[in-house]
Amino acid sequence: MSAAAVSGRQTALGVDVSGIGVKGPPRVEARAMTKQFGGNVVLDQVSLTLEPGTVHALLGENGAGKSTLVKCLMGFYQADAGELLVNGEVVAVKSPRDAQAHGIGMVYQHFTLVENMTVAENLLIARQTLPAIIDWKRELADLTAFMRRMPFHIEPTRLVRQLAAGEKQKLEILKQLYLGSRVIILDEPTSVLTPDEADEVLGLVRQMAERGELSVLIITHKFREVLAFADHVTILRRGKLVASDRVRNLTPAQMAELMVGAEPPKQSSSRTDSAPRELALELERVEADDDIGLRVLEGVTLHVRAGEIVGIAGVSGNGQDELVEVLAGQRPLRSGSVRVAGDHYRSTREHIRTRRVRLLPEAPLKNACVSHMTLAHNIAFRDYDRPPFTLLRWALRPAAFKKRAEEAIRAFRIRTPGPLSPIGQLSGGNVQRAVLARELAGEVRVLIAANPCFGLDFGAVAEIRSRIMDARNAGTAVLLISADLEEIFALSDRILVMSEGRIVHETPAQTADVREIGRHMAGHA
Amino acid sequence: MATGGAPNAPSARVDWADIGARLEPFLIPLFALFVSLALFGAFVALAGQPPLEVYYQMYRGAFGTWFSFQNTLQRASPLLLTALCTALPARAGLIVIGGEGAFVMGGLAAGATGVALAGSPRAVILGAMFAAGAVVGAIWIGFCGFLRARRGVNETIASLLLTYIGIALLNHFVEGPLRDPESLNKPSTRHIGEANMLGSIPGLDVHWGLVAGVVACLVAYVLMERTVFGFSAALVGGNARAAKLSGVKVAEVIVITCALGGAAAGVAGSFEVAAVHGRANASLVAGYGYAGILVSFLARHNALAIIPVSLFLGGIAASGGLLQRVFALPDATVNVLQGILFVVLIASDTLYGRIRWRSLAGAR
């Protein structure tokens, strides 16, 4: 505790960041780290060594265990097994403060700066201890001296609000240096930066590492950054360590293969064969913007036929979420068209009903339910304005809601205290079952499923996948968007790969080459 | 059906934890009420008066006699309608606090209409006055909803600021274009004529606004709890993303709930002109709109609960005069009680779902 405070204070006075041999970054080593969540092994005996003065990339798909490993290093989680060594000594890191005391700091994916405070204020409030009265004159002088020694420089009196994204990222890194961190973990540092900003920030960090002032661990799934800036790469897949090597010893194709695996996963067995049928869902040059107005969908064109599952694979953050939101009516379509069975489609109640389009979003409690409303009400969202729920067009019949919910509870084996329980009180699997019961009721022409099994336990996953397969066998056109390649392979008839807002690859699932898909996902065709 | 722990506990045992959790919506406001009364009691004691005696006199001043009860009803009737101005948009997830503006504008519109139609049959004048009040109120708050839905403007701030504009417009019209030259001390519009005014409910000294308010609350309750539109509004208020996924026209629902709320407040203002003053003037700015916010929050935006809560707050307001006479406490003392109630009740919102009934019950 006191060590952290002391080191924070010393850096503020500028004692140990100069890198002129005072104290280099420590060697950090994780040994056989294992972490389970509710019987689910998310990190399985993973070891990693961060040599002083190197840039180390941690590569893996979503859910590969990258962030869990890092959170164990930082003391957010306590590993179930395994140990952490700093300079060869076993240390107990129970909280991020402990990690800080050992000189390990993390820069999060999303900024943790106070927008309407100055750079200097942001740096000062990050310290663990502050005097009751701050001597700003002295602190500013200290900060200016500190900045002068840094490879990049931000005026301490500027407001954070006025900084560009790249400058904020630099400030986050400066903050860690100011706090005395010599080992910096960057969590997807470039996800909020333009390519130029990313190159600049990572280049500066790399130079500091080369001078022996820092060690850096970068969590990423961008191959380009690994190749350009990292010395060493550790690749995780499904919680296991699959490779750890010098970057120069690996080609991007090899990395892709290591990341997604070489074995094509098994297909689901309940698939019935059928001849290609009529077109059900057609997207033509669909474009949309993200929340801050940047174009994220750059002309997505795809077709789904009745009775087939088309899977969209891709590293997350390449426009998949926005595509689902456009189809769900949660994000405006900038240009292009969406047609269902040849008819123009917009997410209005009339179109949803007449075109028979259903959607299973990820995080259903956030995207598709009202958590404080009852299960019975949530199950009725699609047709509460139609008989049998209505009487005389306007009045609701509570008994009909209850009856429908009871049927759904039986048919989909939803575990709930009763139909009138708030849906927010159910477990994740049961919420997803309730949404399935709602979305798969009646005849469905088009089903859009986005990461439908994310975060669910094994049994629920199998059941939900077989429900989707049943819908396909019954003639529904299914568009499956998933960050889980195994899920794409298990369900799809045809696989598309999405990268940077476009469909960049298409292949029938039966003859799909997982390495080929991995290369397209990584943007290295 | 008993939930949760029922299989573990012997069935004859009363499950206090479960009962506690179920009664939360009643117990917490009751608890907040007692805390407020205690705080106000302390305030009264500091002012040198005996708290229990004050409370007894307040009861007398509000409900103790037929005369005082009628006074309470008079004060409650506008609150029934202005509370809906907050309660209806709240259903769609908006916090509208501009009932005062809609009330004032409704009253002004009603007054102007009444004067403009002078000479027409009484039914035409009154009908047109209420229609004008409702429409102007609906536009007033509906505009806030429109700004929110289309431009993302915060409806709380917009409706509050529009209130000041509304009051300024009232002053402008009654002091300028619509001024009755004979209204010297208090600039007003012309009187609509005593014969044209709305009378009292037979047997009471309370105007028909009370009946209109109760009916409006009942209709609002049915609308929100038992109709397709109410369901859509609950969906929008509960989770706009889920509403969009379900194809609900979020913007439309927001604008309509706001317009309905504004219409209720506008009608309340119309009653003030048609049944009380006979003309629009600064007397309309009496805080009924603001008190309606308090009522709606105390009633947890439930239209049915607005009825008793309005009576309760009407009673508090009615007792102010008696406190002044008996205890030499200032008339505004009751505003202190209202303020304490509001703060304590809003604060008590944080208690929902946080009380550990199980461990409380286990401690027995």
DSSP state letters, A12-53: HHTSS-S-SSS-PPPPEEEEEEEEEETTEEEEEEEEEEE-TT
Is the model more confident about A68 or about B211?
B211
Contacts of B227 in chain A (CB under 8 A): 394-396
Residue B163: which pLDDT band, with cuts at 50, 70 and 90?
A: very high
Point out the residue among B4, B245, B248 whose CB comes nearest to the CB of A368: B245
Quote the DSSP letter at residue B197: S
Is the model more confident about A491 or about B328?
A491
- Please state the φ and ψ torsions of residue A382, each to the nearest 5 degrees: -75, -35
∠ CA(A82), CA(A85), CA(A86), 5° rounding?
Answer: 160
Out of A228-237, A239-248, B125-134, B343-352, which region has the weakest mean confidence (pLDDT)? B343-352
**Architecture of the domain spanning A279-521:** 3-Layer(aba) Sandwich (3.40)
Distance of CA B362 to the CA centre of its chain: 40
Contacts of A396 in chain B (CB under 8 A): 226-228, 230-231
- Confidence at residue B363, expressed as pLDDT on a 0 to 100 scale: 53
pLDDT tens profile A317-333: 788 889 999 999 999 99
Contacts of B231 in chain A (CB under 8 A): 377, 384-385, 396
Contacts of B235 in chain A (CB under 8 A): 370, 373, 381
- Confidence at residue A9, expressed as pLDDT on a 0 to 100 scale: 38
Which of B245, B250, B349 to mutate to test binding with chain A, by most A CBs within 10 Å of its CB? B245
CB spacing of B234 vs A370 below 8 angstroms: yes
Tell me: pLDDT of A1 over 90. no
Which of B229, B246, B248, B252 to mutate to test binding with chain A, by most A CBs within 10 Å of its CB? B246
Place of tokens 């809609």: B102
Averaged pLDDT of chain A: 85
Residue A288: which pLDDT band, with cuts at 50, 70 and 90?
A: very high
Distance from CA of B179 to the nearest CA of A (A): 45
Residue length of chain A = 525
| For range A406-435, the mean pLDDT | 88
CATH topology of domain A2-259: Rossmann fold (3.40.50)
Let me know: does A180 contact A8? Beta carbons within 8 Å: yes
Tell me: pLDDT of A434 over 70. yes
- Integer Rg of chain B from CA: 23
Which of A385, A402, A406 to mutate to test binding with chain B, by most B CBs within 10 Å of its CB? A385
Contacts of B6 in chain A (CB under 8 A): none
Distance from CA of A389 to the nearest CA of B (A): 9
> CB of A402 within 8 Å of any CB in chain B?
no
**Residue B55 to residue A441: CA distance in whole angstroms:** 59
Collapsing DSSP to helix, strand or coil, B216 comes out as helix
Is the model more confident about A281 or about A413?
A281
> CB of A421 within 8 Å of any CB in chain B?
yes
**Residue B32 to residue A333: CA distance in whole angstroms:** 48
- Confidence at residue A39, expressed as pLDDT on a 0 to 100 scale: 67
| For range B278-283, the mean pLDDT | 92
**Residue B127 to residue B113: CA distance in whole angstroms:** 10
Tell me: pLDDT of B86 over 70. yes
CB spacing of A417 vs B229 below 8 angstroms: no
Averaged pLDDT of chain B: 89
Tell me: pLDDT of B354 over 80. no
CB spacing of A390 vs B228 below 8 angstroms: yes
Which of A324, A325, A381, A409 to mutate to test binding with chain B, by most B CBs within 10 Å of its CB? A381
Tell me: pLDDT of A245 over 80. yes
Out of A179-183, A198-202, A358-362, B219-223, which region has the weakest mean confidence (pLDDT)? A198-202
**Residue A497 to residue A515: CA distance in whole angstroms:** 12
Tell me: pLDDT of A8 over 50. no
pLDDT tens profile A121-175: 999 988 878 888 888 899 899 888 888 888 778 888 899 988 877 788 889 988 9
Domain residue spans of chain B? 80-303
- Please state the φ and ψ torsions of residue B191, each to the nearest 5 degrees: -70, 145
Distance from CA of B100 to the nearest CA of A (A): 31
Tell me: pLDDT of B1 over 60. no
Quote the DSSP letter at residue A425: G
CB spacing of A349 vs B238 below 8 angstroms: no
Tell me: pLDDT of B7 over 50. no
Q: How far is CA B296 from CA A449, A506, B79, B305, in A?
A: 41, 57, 9, 9
Highest mean pLDDT: which of A18-22, A79-83, A459-463, B203-207? Answer: A79-83
Contacts of A330 in chain B (CB under 8 A): 241, 244-245
- Confidence at residue B26, expressed as pLDDT on a 0 to 100 scale: 79
Tell me: pLDDT of A24 over 70. yes
CB spacing of A347 vs B244 below 8 angstroms: yes
pLDDT tens profile B116-126: 999 999 999 99
Contacts of A329 in chain B (CB under 8 A): 244-245, 247
CB spacing of B232 vs A385 below 8 angstroms: yes
Distance from CA of B364 to the nearest CA of A (A): 27
Q: Which residues contact A66 (CB under 8 A, 6 or more apart)?
A: A58, A59, A60, A219, A236
Q: Which residues contact A398 (CB under 8 A, 6 or more apart)?
A: none
Closest alpha carbon within chain B to A373:
B238
**Residue B42 to residue B49: CA distance in whole angstroms:** 10
The answer to whether the predicted template modeling score (pTM) of the entire model surpasses 0.80 is no
**What whole-number percentage of chain B has pLDDT above 70?**
94
CB spacing of B245 vs A377 below 8 angstroms: no
Residue length of chain B = 364
**Residue A102 to residue A123: CA distance in whole angstroms:** 19
pLDDT tens profile B120-149: 999 999 999 999 999 999 999 999 999 999
Distance from CA of B240 to the nearest CA of A (A): 9
Collapsing DSSP to helix, strand or coil, A106 comes out as strand
Out of A187-191, B42-46, B258-262, which region has the weakest mean confidence (pLDDT)? A187-191
Point out the residue among A350, A367, A395 whose CB comes nearest to the CB of B245: A367
Place of tokens 């900038």: A334
Let me know: does B140 contact B162? Beta carbons within 8 Å: yes
pLDDT tens profile B169-183: 999 999 988 898 888
Out of A267-276, A306-315, A410-419, B82-91, which region has the weakest mean confidence (pLDDT)? A267-276
Quote the DSSP letter at residue A510: G
Contacts of A381 in chain B (CB under 8 A): 235, 242, 245-246
**Residue B265 to residue B279: CA distance in whole angstroms:** 17
Q: Which residues contact B350 (CB under 8 A, 6 or more apart)?
A: none
Contacts of A361 in chain B (CB under 8 A): 245
> Would you tell me the crossing angle of helices A252-260 and A514-521 to the nearest 10 degrees?
110
DSSP state letters, B306-334: HHHHHHHHHHHHHTHHHHHHHH---TTHH
> CB of A384 within 8 Å of any CB in chain B?
yes
Point out the residue among A367, A368, A395 whose CB comes nearest to the CB of B226: A395
- Confidence at residue A262, expressed as pLDDT on a 0 to 100 scale: 62
A 10 A CB-CB count for A498 gives: 24
Collapsing DSSP to helix, strand or coil, A337 comes out as strand
Let me know: does B290 contact B174? Beta carbons within 8 Å: no
- Confidence at residue B131, expressed as pLDDT on a 0 to 100 scale: 97
ipTM: 0.82
Point out the residue among B3, B231, B242 whose CB comes nearest to the CB of A369: B242
Extract long-range pairs of A88-93: CB within 8 Å, 24+ residues apart: A88/A27, A88/A29
Let me know: does A100 contact A26? Beta carbons within 8 Å: no
Let me know: does B265 contact B141? Beta carbons within 8 Å: yes
DSSP state letters, A253-320: HHHHHHHH-SSPPPPPTTPPP-----EEEEEEEEEEE-TTS-EEEEEEEEEEETT-EEEEE--TTSSH
- Confidence at residue A237, expressed as pLDDT on a 0 to 100 scale: 85
Determine if the peptide bond prior to B187 is cis (ω within 30°).
Answer: no
Collapsing DSSP to helix, strand or coil, A388 comes out as coil
Point out the residue among B3, B230, B234 whose CB comes nearest to the CB of A417: B3
| For range A234-246, the mean pLDDT | 90
Let me know: does A157 contact A120? Beta carbons within 8 Å: yes
**Residue A332 to residue A323: CA distance in whole angstroms:** 10
Point out the residue among B1, B230, B234 whose CB comes nearest to the CB of A373: B234
Collapsing DSSP to helix, strand or coil, A159 comes out as strand
CB spacing of A421 vs B3 below 8 angstroms: yes
Task: CATH 3.40.50.300 in chain A: give the residue spans.
Answer: 2-259, 279-521
Contacts of A394 in chain B (CB under 8 A): 227-229
Let me know: does A480 contact A280? Beta carbons within 8 Å: no
| For range B66-85, the mean pLDDT | 94
The amino acid that residue A261 corresponds to is G
- Confidence at residue A7, expressed as pLDDT on a 0 to 100 scale: 40
Extract long-range pairs of A386-391: CB within 8 Å, 24+ residues apart: A386/A353, A390/B228
Residue A18: which pLDDT band, with cuts at 50, 70 and 90?
A: very low
**What whole-number percentage of chain A has pLDDT above 70?**
91
Helix residue ranges, H only, chain B: 16-46, 51-59, 66-91, 99-116, 122-146, 155-175, 209-226, 228-238, 240-245, 250-271, 288-298, 303-318, 320-327, 333-348, 357-362
Distance from CA of A170 to the nearest CA of B (A): 32
Distance from CA of B300 to the nearest CA of A (A): 15
CB spacing of A417 vs B1 below 8 angstroms: yes
Residue A177: which pLDDT band, with cuts at 50, 70 and 90?
A: confident
Tokens of A279: 């077109």
